[in-house]
Amino acid sequence: MDLPVDEWKSYILQKWSLLPKSIQVTISTAETLHDLFLHSSPLLQPEDEMFLKRLSGGYLVGKDPDTSLFYREKGNQKFQAKDYMGAAVLYSKGVSHSGPSSTDISLCYANRSAALFHLGQYETCLKDIVRAQTHGYPERLQPKLLLRKAECLVTLGRPQEASQTIIDLESSFAAKPTLSASQFQILQRTLCRVKVKVQEKENLPEIFPEALTKTFEGVDLREENEQIPGASSSVSLHIDPLKGRYLVATKDILPGELLVKEDAFVSVLNPGEVPLRPRGLESKWDIQVTNGDLHCHRCLRHTLAPVPCDGCSYAKYCSQECMQQAWDRYHSVECSLGALLLTLGLFCHVALRSTLLARFEDVGKVTKKLCGEMSNQGICLPESKNPVQTLKYDLGGEGDKKDKAVETPIPGCDINGKYERNYNAIFHLLPHTENHSPEHKFLCALSVSALCRQLEAAGLQAFTTDLKPTKLKAAEPPVLCAELSVWGVAMLRHMLQLQCNAQAITTIQQTGSKESLITDTRRVRLATALFPVVSLLNHSCSPNTSVSFIGTIATIRASQLIRSGQEILHCYGPHESRMGVAERRQKLRSQYFFDCDCPPCEREKQRPSAGPGRGAFRCHRCRALLQGDDVLSCSGPDCMESVSRDLLVSRLQDLQRQVGAAQKHLRNGRLEVAIQLLLGCQSDVESFLSAEHSVVGEIEDALAQAYAALGDWEKSATHLQKSLQVVEVHHGPSSVEMGHELFKLAQVFFNGCAVPKALKTIQKAEKVLLVHYGPWNDEIRELQKMKSCLLDLLPIPVGPKE
């Protein structure tokens, strides 16, 4: 999803392998990105572009008004079945595919407003009613819509407006009696009901709806760093030839302290698995729901009522404002390129959007910078090995390098040493040009070239006319080719940077059936983004911070006590609790080009058997640890048992498959089947795995869910406590994983009315989650609600021993 689709990748790799040796050498040894781009770009032939065009032709990204009726009918089926959530999503798909100001789109909006009404989303329902009306909702159907509007207004505690709506409604009845007698009667009855409600409400004080949107702006750094806006004053920026740039604590930092709060410079929503246009006739249009259907393409906010771009079916927004902002800043260029961008992958998309956003900064400076890259070789020399070379870039001239290098700000900072969230900072993220394989660089260069050609074809005017006027280009007409190659080089740089600097924006998605009373959560990747400040942090397999996201904003909190002078570290992915040392080091080397020497890595290198997964197999006779490589033998004192590793591994895989099947039954509400299967797995585990194996945790967790769904809270709690033990062994007592598990346990105790236990667990869960998320987290709010509810119930104060 980050890189181009496999077909294009293998096509380009084959093209590379067929190139004459001399050209391969020229490209492989190109010293600057500009040279790389200059030598690769002309190799993109018309037939290559045709091939790419065929590939992207598989994605349906334009409007297809024929599908509107299809989605509306599918939505109606869900609506009939009272699956209002499912109905809303399908109506949204209908909305995206209908042209603006068509009857189709107005009908889809109107139907969606009905679904939202049933979901209790009254504010959004009202918005959809207005949308239906502005897009030309048929006159004869208006009464139904107006009634819904009145009901919404009543529920929202706005009786005056509701009365006005009813007056409008009655006068439209009188003017055009378009309804059949029976329809009229039904409407009359509803109208009476609403009128009564209005009267009731009019006598009550106004009730304001609970604010649904998170006031995240309320979360702030205690004291902002003067040098690095977005970071706390408890850290400072340093540079070192080996480590590059990094952050250090300037004072003791307590667990939970907010260290960074930063809005992404650029982010692109991960559309999820976008299905290709089906070739067969049956199941003509897909009804699968992906990230792209549920999140705003600009701010990533979750929404059941997106408004689509007028020009395409794939870009959808939480509001008109977001749509306008996106259009002005980048979507006017991207709109027609949807299919190509899906084919070329997210990195290419982020690269394009970054350069588009750069237009809104001082273009003169940016262009100079980009041109600087063309003339100044320093920028592309191996930066990590020789940071002085990169510093040279900022100097412009060669001159008295040494004297100036001292004063030169750290790369990415301005002359005053300020590191800001701007294109300058993005530009200085390391592309590690010398570390990427020639094939990879060729793939990136040709993908960017293809994108440039499309931009050119779509009229570069659109691309450049939005530029703020500058002295630089006021006079002469834009020189298309030269200009494009500047943008091309910049995009290539971003594509290469992204491998090491892209930050996945993740969100906790709640899974499980609607009825399940305890929440099952899953971390999913929502977007790919660049955060200049977050990028300053180095990696550790055992980090001292925790990252979380709300929309496009990242927050980093200390997850433990950080002493003054210690480095602030976060984990790039390979965490010690999830991977053994060998796998971690291999991953970090291949993706980030460095050898990790964090304390766990150093420790495990000496004692490799300590990693997770090792020591996991147990003797079925005496339960002692099995040791060895290909053949494991029992470590028990009087036991001669030995087993081949292959056999154990295949048993483990079998077991994991069964657990997966049980979880599926669970999701589909087949609780008894799931429980039987899980109990079988449980006894299987005992014969060959240690009690701390992660699969044991999964089994216990699934059992807890099943019993919760059956309302057997006591059993559910017992299993959850076992799962908690496993999580603690793997992730530590104050890990975010522990926090989620404690949250579930709190829910179970709460539902089972085990008041003292619930209160105690709530307290524990709150403590752990606060460190990772701060007070604005959904789970923490839920915990607080439970607590106040329980305290109301509590007959006697809880003794300290409980």
Task: Give the strand order in the sheet containing 626-627.
Answer: 626-627, 631-634, 642-644
Beta bridge partners of 680: none
H/E run at residue 440: helix 438-457
- Which CB, 309 or 704, lies closer to Zn ion? 309
Q: Minimal distance in Å, beta carbon 109 to Zn ion?
A: 18
- Which CB, 244 or 697, lies closer to Zn ion? 244
Angle at 446 between CA 443 and CA 447, to 5 degrees: 80
Tracing tokens 């340093």 back to the chain, one arrives at 238
Q: Minimal distance in Å, beta carbon 214 to Zn ion?
A: 13
Q: Under 8 Å CB-to-CB from 344, ≥6 apart: which residues?
A: 4, 5, 8, 447, 450, 451
In whole angstroms, how far apart are CA 148 and each of 118, 127, 265, 289?
A: 11, 12, 41, 27
- Which CB, 141 or 625, lies closer to Zn ion? 625
DSSP collapsed to 3 states, 369-396: HHHHHHHCHHHHCCCCCCHHHHHHHHHC
Helices (H) and strands (E) in the chain, counts: 33, 15
DSSP per-residue codes, 609-672 = GGSTTTT-BB-TTT-PBEE-SSEEEE-STT---EEEHHHHHHHHHHHHHHHHHHHHHHHTT-HH
- Which CB, 357 or 639, lies closer to Zn ion? 639
Q: Minimal distance in Å, beta carbon 490 to Zn ion?
A: 23
- Which CB, 135 or 298, lies closer to Zn ion? 298
Whole-angstrom distance, CA of residue 708 vs CA of residue 149: 38
Q: Minimal distance in Å, beta carbon 633 to Zn ion?
A: 9
Tokens of 35: 């040279």
- Which CB, 170 or 310, lies closer to Zn ion? 310
- Which CB, 219 or 622, lies closer to Zn ion? 622
Q: Minimal distance in Å, beta carbon 107 to Zn ion?
A: 22
Whole-angstrom distance, CA of residue 143 vs CA of residue 24: 70
Whole-angstrom distance, CA of residue 607 vs CA of residue 184: 81
Helix (H, G, I), strand (E, B) or coil at 434: coil
Chain residues in the site for Zn ion (CB under 5 A): 296, 298-299, 301, 309, 311-312, 315, 318, 322, 335, 541, 596, 598, 601, 619, 621-622, 624, 634, 636, 639, 641
Q: Minimal distance in Å, beta carbon 318 to Zn ion?
A: 3
Whole-angstrom distance, CA of residue 732 vs CA of residue 725: 10
Tokens of 186: 């039904």
Taking the mean position of all CA atoms in its chain, how far away is CA 799?
A: 43
Helix (H, G, I), strand (E, B) or coil at 529: strand
- Which CB, 58 or 311, lies closer to Zn ion? 311
Whole-angstrom distance, CA of residue 354 vs CA of residue 495: 10
Q: Minimal distance in Å, beta carbon 769 to Zn ion?
A: 26
- Which CB, 632 or 748, lies closer to Zn ion? 632
Q: Minimal distance in Å, beta carbon 312 to Zn ion?
A: 3
Q: Minimal distance in Å, beta carbon 50 to Zn ion?
A: 24
- Which CB, 327 or 393, lies closer to Zn ion? 327
Q: Minimal distance in Å, beta carbon 596 to Zn ion?
A: 3
